[in-house]
Chain A
C-alpha cells in the first residue's frame, strides 16, 4: 500500500469512527475533508523541500473531547507542541473559577480546559468564518491560534487573591513565560525569531493588528464566549447559554475590530444577558466571595507573620519570594493549587490563632456570614463595629471585611463612552456600524443602569459565642441585626 493510500485509509477509518457526530458540527466534517486533502499536501511537501514549522500539520488530526464545544480540533504541529509543554500542562492544576467550587461543587474545571476552548473558538472563526474574507490575512492565523491558546498562561493559583496581596500580575508572567527560557518559548521560536514577541504582544493588547487582538480580548471575544458557557456547564446553572454558532457565523473582520452583522443582533442580546446573569449569579456569588475573603486574609496573615519573624511550624518555602516581593519566573512556575492547599492544610496546626483559624475555615468551608452593606449610610457603623471587634478579641483587620463589586475581575457589558473601551458594533446593511445598545432595547436596558454591590463579612460563630466578651458581642449582634436565638 502506498503512503498516500495508508494515510487516506487511516483518515477514512477515523471518519467512520465519528459517524455519530451530529450534522450540526459541520466544521468537523469539513475538517475531515481537509484532513484528506491535507494528507496529500503533506506528502507532496515531504517529497519536496522541508516544510516550514509554521505550516506543518499533524499526520492525523487530534481531537480533544470537550463538554462545551464537543470537540477541540488540532492539526497544527505548533499547537500540538505547545499543548505538550510543561508550562501549559501546569494549567491543569489551576482551577478556572478559584474558590467557586465551595459554592457550586461542580466548578472544578481548570484553566487548561478553558484555554483549549478559547483556542477552538478562534480556530473556528479563523478557518470557518474569516478565511478568504477581505480584511483578514491568513498570515495572522497561527499567531491568533497561539495567542488564544496561551492567553491565560501566566495565571497562578487563586490568582486574583494572590495578585492583590503580593502585588503580582498574571499578565506580566504570561509575557515572562512566552519570552523567557521556557519550553513554550522554544516552540514559538521555531516558528520565527519574532514570533514569541508577536504572540506576547497580541495577549498584552499592544500588537499592531488590532483585529487579531479583538478576537481574544474585546467585549465579545473568544475568551468570554468560552468561559461563560464553560462556567455555566460546570457550575450547573441555567444561565450562560447562548447561540455561539450563530454569533460566529455573523462575525465579520472590519479594520480594527470584529463587528457583528445586524441580522445576528438577537444572538448577541442573548450573549449579553448571559454575561449579566452569570456576573450576578455565579461570579459575584456572596458565598464564593466569602471564601475569597478568607483566602485573601490567610495570605495577608502569613505575610504579616513572616514580617514579624514568626517561626512557622511548616515553613512556607514556596511563599518566601512572594513575601519579599521578588518572585522569579522559576519560583512562580512551581506554584499551583496543590502546593497552596498543602500549606493551608498544615497551617491549621500553627500556634498563631488567626492563621490556624482562617485555614480551618477555608479547608472545612466554615465561611464568614455576610450582611448587605451601604457604605454611604453605614461607614460610621463600620467604624464602631471595628472598635467593638477589637475589644472582643477579634482582629477587625481579619474578621470584619467589606467586599465590593469593584473587587471582582469580571464585568458586564457597558457601551464605551469617551473611548475608554471599544463597544460591540453592529454592521448595518448600509455598511455603517452602530453601537449595540443604540439598536437593542434589551441591551440598552441592562447596560444603561449602574448596579454596584457591597457586603460586610464576619464570623458569626465567634460573635454568637458568649463564653467571652458577652456584653460587647451583644452590642455587635445588635449592630449587625443578628437574631439573639443564634447565641450559644
Chain B
C-alpha cells in the first residue's frame, strides 16, 4: 500500500535533498528508463518527459508531512526544495522499500544541473531513434535551450555510465 509513494520518498531520501521540481521529475524519469521500478506514467511535454501523477504524489506526500517543501524566490521564478521529514523517515522504515543501486545513480544525477538532466531525459525519451534523428529532434524541439552537439554527446556518455551503474542491480 502506498508503494509508489514510498518509492518516490526513497528516491528523495537517497538523494538527500532535491532542488527543483523539474530536476525531481527528470531524476525519476531517468531512473525509470534505467529499469528501476517506478510506476508513474510520463508524457512528453513542452519541456521534456513529465508526469502529472508524480506531481500529485509529491503534493500528497507534502500534505501528509512526509516531505518538506521549501519555496524560495529565485530571480523571476520560484524554486522548490524537497527533503524527507522525520515522520517520512519513520514511514519509510516501515515500508521496507529497498531498491539496490538506486542511490548511486540518484546521487550522481543530483550532482548534475536541471538543464543537463532535461537533455538526458529527452535523449532517453527518443531512445528508439538513431542518434542523428535524436539530435535533430533536440535541436528542433528544444531550440530555445540551445544545446550543442558536444552536450548531446555528453548526454549519451552519461546515459552509458548510468546504465553501467544500474546494471549492477
Contacts and interface: CB of A to CB of B under 8 A. Distances in A.
Contact of A208 (B1, B53, B141): B141
A452 B60 contact: yes
**Majority-rule SS of A interface residues:** mixed
Contact of B20 (A405, A418, A422): A418
Interface in B108-137: 126, 137
A417 interface: yes
A405 B56 contact: yes
A33 interface: no
Interface in A373-423: 374-376, 379-380, 382-383, 386, 400-402, 404-407, 411, 417-422
Interface residues of A, number: 35
B64 A418 contact: no
A374 B56 CA distance: 16
A420 B51 CA distance: 9
B27 to A, nearest CB: 14
B36 to A, nearest CB: 14
Nearest to B122: A206
A420 B59 contact: no
A421 B46 contact: yes
A163 interface: yes
A454 B1 CA distance: 12
A93 interface: no
Interface string B56-89: 1101101111100000000001111000000100
Contacts of A418: 20-22, 77-80
A374 B57 CA distance: 14
Nearest to B78: A417
A163 B41 CA distance: 9
Contacts of A380: 94
Contacts of A190: none
A406 B57 contact: yes
B90 to A, nearest CB: 9
A419 B76 CA distance: 12
A374 B66 CA distance: 12
Given A206-B141, A376-B64, A452-B59, A420 B22 contact: yes
Contact of B91 (A210, A379, A417): A379
Interface in A195-217: 204-206, 208, 210
A235 B46 CA distance: 33
Of the candidates B56, B59, B66, B126, the one having the most CB atoms from chain A within 10 angstroms of its own CB is: B56
B63 A450 contact: yes
A89 B126 CA distance: 30
Contacts of A379: 1-2, 91, 94
A326 to B, nearest CB: 17
A405 B2 CA distance: 12
A144 to B, nearest CB: 18
Contact of A420 (B47, B56, B62): B47
Interface string B1-39: 110110000000000000011100100000000000001
A186 B150 CA distance: 40
Contacts of B140: 208
A485 B91 CA distance: 35
Given A379-B94, A383-B94, A406 B56 contact: yes
A400 B1 CA distance: 9
Interface string A112-131: 00000000000000000000
A191 B44 CA distance: 26
A97 B99 CA distance: 36
A417 B21 contact: yes
Given A208-B140, A376-B66, A421 B45 contact: yes
Given A171-B43, A206-B141, A420 B94 contact: no
A379 to B, nearest CB: 6
Interface of B: 1-2, 4-5, 20-22, 25, 39, 41, 43-47, 50, 52-53, 55-57, 59-60, 62-66, 77-80, 87, 91, 94, 126, 137, 140-141
10 contacts: A205-B43, A205-B46, A208-B141, A256-B46, A375-B64, A376-B63, A376-B66, A380-B94, A411-B56, A452-B63
- Sorted nearest first, the 4 A-B pairs with minimum C-beta distance are A376-B64, A406-B56, A452-B60, A406-B57
Interface of A: 163-164, 169, 171, 204-206, 208, 210, 256, 374-376, 379-380, 382-383, 386, 400-402, 404-407, 411, 417-422, 450, 452, 454
